[in-house]
Structure 1
Amino acid sequence: MATLIRKLICTTNAAKPVAPYNQAVVADRTVYVSGCLGLDKNTMQLVAGGAAEQTEMALKNMEAVLVAAGSGVDKVVKNTIFVKDLNDFGTVNEVYKKVFSKDFPARSCVQVARLPMDALVEIECIALTGAVSTVSE
């Protein structure tokens, strides 16, 4: 049986993890991106503003990690969004649609009691690497 490679992803183009985990792990051709917060990568502080600004920065961090893993937002198959307040659902969606504008990945969005650093939004994803074709059924 062939040995699968588990590649640990770490890039300076996104905010560093705030706990003991990697930004992403690639197993075979699948990328598992850890939860991304709306952190400025230079200050490691949450960006000013509200849910919209944190969502935008979290997605930028996620994109940078995907690129470092040899993937991209066009290869995301599943997103999970955690929000502190589900009343921000519409706001998060408006920002999300700027990044995911067609061929939407599967997605969940749930309200949670608390997020690291008291963030308002956290986003994780699963993506693919290599050549990917999209077919609608």
Structure 2
Amino acid sequence: MDSSTKFWMVEGAPTPVGPFSHATEQDGWVFLTGQMPTSPDDDSAPLPEGVAAQTTRVMDNLVLVLKGIGLGLEHVVSVRIFLTEFKRDYATMNAVYAACFPPGKLPARTCIGVTGLARDALVEIDFVARRPDSSAA
């Protein structure tokens, strides 16, 4: 098994808003950096309006990163979600988020209220995924 760390930058995924890789991988465990609701086509475009549209964009961005490294949502084992308006946006975000996964196949998850996010986003989400064949890269 290859134990070296891989640092993934995925072509077509959004431009990082800070100094980080889209994902890192060690022994088949893949840690995806939290994605913002930025456009992968135009980093300077305004963010979508409202938490539903932002959650959709964030999940789409995470799927772009997953696909770029040969994985999909079915490989996600853990999720962290950060919301700036927790009480107001929790239910709406949950509805959009839950629709992304098959019923009964939801990853473990933590959702945290925060005071602010980059780009004044309402939501940020990160993933931990696992390759089905951890010896493959």
CA contact (8 A) 2:30 2:128 kept: yes
CA contact (8 A) 2:2 2:27 kept: no
What are the Cα deviations for residues 78-113 of structure 1, in whole angstroms up to 9, with x where unaligned?
A: 000000111201110111012123311000111100
Q: For residue 118 of structure 1, what is the aligned residue in structure 2?
A: 120
The one-letter amino acid of 2:126's match is E
- Tell which deviates more after alignment, 86-95 or 6-15: 6-15
Q: 1:88 to 1:129 in 2, by over 3 A?
A: same
CA contact (8 A) 1:38 1:122 kept: yes
How far apart, CA to CA, are the structure 2 residues paired with 1:24 and 1:41? 16
Q: For residue 34 of structure 2, what is the aligned residue in structure 1?
A: 35
Q: 1:3 to 1:72 in 2, by over 3 A?
A: closer
TM-score by length of 1: 0.89
What are the Cα deviations for residues 9-32 of structure 1, in whole angstroms up to 9, with x where unaligned?
A: 111322111110001011111110
How far apart, CA to CA, are the structure 1 residues paired with 2:107 and 2:126? 12
Q: 1:77 to 1:3 in 2, by over 3 A?
A: closer
CA contact (8 A) 2:12 2:40 kept: yes
Q: 1:3 to 1:11 in 2, by over 3 A?
A: closer
CA contact (8 A) 1:70 1:130 kept: no
The DSSP-based 3-state class of the residue aligned with 2:42 is coil
CA contact (8 A) 2:37 2:48 kept: no
Question: Superposition pairs for residues 1-137 of structure 1, below 5 Å?
Answer: 4-44=3-43, 45-86=45-86, 87-102=88-103, 103-131=105-133
Residue ranges of structure 2 left out of the alignment (5+ in a row): none
Residue ranges of structure 1 left out of the alignment (5+ in a row): 133-137
The alignment yields a C-alpha RMSD, in angstroms, of 1.6
Runs of 4+ in structure 1 off by over 3 angstroms are none
What are the Cα deviations for residues 45-102 of structure 1, in whole angstroms up to 9, with x where unaligned?
A: 3432111111000001101111122221111000000001112011101110121233
Q: 1:131 to 1:28 in 2, by over 3 A?
A: closer
- The number of residue pairs the alignment matches comes to 131
The DSSP-based 3-state class of the residue aligned with 1:41 is coil
CA contact (8 A) 2:6 2:24 kept: yes
The one-letter amino acid of 1:16's match is T
